[in-house]
Amino acid sequence: MSKQASDARLRAEKRAMKHITHWIGGKPWDGEAERHGDVYDPATGQVTGQVDFAGPAEVDLAVAAAKDAFKTGAGSAWPGAPRPCSRSASWSATTPPSWPS
């Protein structure tokens, strides 16, 4: 394989690699991470992408976004969400356990 063909193949592989970034404030983070790590396909051992590692600034952004979401109720259940069953708690409180002897 020629040097040009090899270089072209490497560029194509790099473009095909998946990039995994942080999810902050309900959307992908658009900053540039200082550090990255390789993502491997466990079946082949080949590198399939890169993941961003968070530094203190990214952690601060994520914590601030989480606090804001908590204040505004962004993490509350959607209208059709199932509700916890309260009958099971009252049932277990009145029914003695049946332990094997």
The pLDDT tens digits of the residues spanning 41-98 come to: 999 999 999 999 999 999 999 999 999 888 877 656 666 666 666 555 555 556 666 6
Q: Is 47 part of a structural domain of the chain? A: yes
Pair of tokens at residue 100:
């094997």
d(CA 19, CA 50): 5
Q: Would you tell me how many other CB atoms lie within 10 Å of the CB of residue 22?
A: 19
Do the domain assignments include residue 43?
yes
pLDDT of residue 87: 57
Count of structural domains within the chain: 1
Question: Is residue 4 very low, low, confident or very high in pLDDT (cuts 50, 70, 90)?
Answer: confident
Any domain includes 1: no
Q: Is position 23 within any domain? A: yes
Domain that holds residue 46: 17-74
Q: Is residue 29, in this structure, part of any structural domain at all?
A: yes
Specify if 62 maps to a domain. Answer: yes
| pLDDT, tens digit (0-9, with 9 covering 90-100), for 29-38 | 998 999 999 9
Residue 3 lies in a domain: no
Residue 4 in domain:
no
The label of the residue with tokens 């590198």 reads: 47
